[in-house]
Amino acid sequence: MSKGKVLIVDDSLSTVRIVEKMLKNEGFEVIASSDGVEGLKKVYIEHPDLVILDLVLPLLDGFEVCRSLKQSEKCKDILIIICTARKELIEGERDKIGADLYS
Residue 84, pLDDT score: 74
Tell me which residue range forms the domain holding 28. 5-102
The pTM of this model reads: 0.86
Residue 87, pLDDT score: 63
Residue 33's nearest CA partner among 57, 4, 9, 6 is: 9
Residue 52, pLDDT score: 96
Are 64 and 39 within 8 A, CB to CB? no
pLDDT in tens, the chain (103 residues): 679 999 999 999 999 999 999 999 999 999 999 999 999 999 999 999 999 999 889 999 988 999 999 899 998 899 998 887 766 655 555 555 655 555 5
Give bridge partners of residue 31 from the DSSP assignment: 7
Counting the structural domains of the chain, the total is 1
CATH number (domain holding residue 28)? 3.40.50.2300
